[in-house]
Amino acid sequence: MKVIIALDQTEFATQIIETVTKRHWPKDTQFKVLTVIEPLQWEAVSCIEWNDLAQKALEKRKHFAHEKVMEAKHKISEAIANCTVHVETRQGSPRKEIIDAATDWMADKIVLGAHGHSPNRLFGGDVSRSVAQQSGCSVELIRLKNLAHKESEPKSALPGALSK
């Protein structure tokens, strides 16, 4: 089985990896951890100073994205025996690149995150819906929880007590 795990470069990626690693997978499952660097609007400006700044920003974003996919690869390899984990970083539209990666790799399944009515921050718009509708393979959406909101909720003194 070939599974693409599409991650953004936010804290939500951890939830997707945790969900994947807690599941039982068939022996010899291959995973591809994929992240997509979406171009910034000002990267196309024809000013030398802006282009230099954009190039430096892109290199930092590529480095950060590579660190994220390598971290995910390590976690998956440790948690799931007898699997192979590949990594890939692409640039462009997340919905297009995820679908193209699945087609190119002949994936059996795509796993990606979504919360509420819109998917995670860098996969803006309706990426999860577009991928599910246009992909030639199964798509599993991991319902993401907003961790910042969860941490700000008041904690009651007694387990099971209702807060006002």
Instruction: Give per-residue pLDDT as tens, 79-134.
Output: 998 899 999 999 999 999 999 999 999 999 999 998 654 444 444 448 888 999 99
What domain range includes position 138?
Answer: 2-147
pLDDT at position 156 is 42
163 lies in a domain?
no
Q: Which residue has the higher pLDDT, 75 or 118?
A: 75
Query: Given pLDDT bands bounded at 50, 70 and 90, which one contains residue 148?
Result: low
Residue 162 in domain: no
Q: Where are the alpha helices (DSSP H) in the chain?
A: 12-21, 48-79, 94-105, 127-134, 147-152
Tell me what pLDDT residue 121 has: 46
Any domain includes 9? yes
Instruction: Give the closest residue to 102 by CA, choosing from 126, 68, 132, 124.
Output: 132
The Cβ of residue 98 has, within 10 Å, a number of other Cβ atoms equal to: 28
Q: Sign of dihedral through CA atoms 39, 42, 44, 48?
A: negative
Count of domains forming the chain: 1
pLDDT of residue 131: 93
Let me know if residue 160 belongs to a domain.
Answer: no
Residue 15 is encoded by which pair of tokens? 């939830």
pLDDT at 11: 85
Please report where in the chains the tokens 């995150």 appear, as a residue. 113
> Is residue 44 one of the residues assigned to a domain?
yes
For residue 48, is it within any domain?
A: yes
Model confidence pTM above 0.85: no
What strand order describes the sheet that includes 30-37? 84-91, 30-37, 2-7, 109-114, 138-143
Question: To the nearest whole number, what is the mean pLDDT of the chain?
Answer: 83
Residue 154, in any domain of the structure: no
Residues 6+ apart with CB under 8 A from 97: 34, 36, 90, 91
User: What CATH number is associated with residue 60?
Assistant: 3.40.50.620
For residue 161, tell me if it sits in a domain.
no
Whether the pLDDT of residue 72 is over 60: the answer is yes
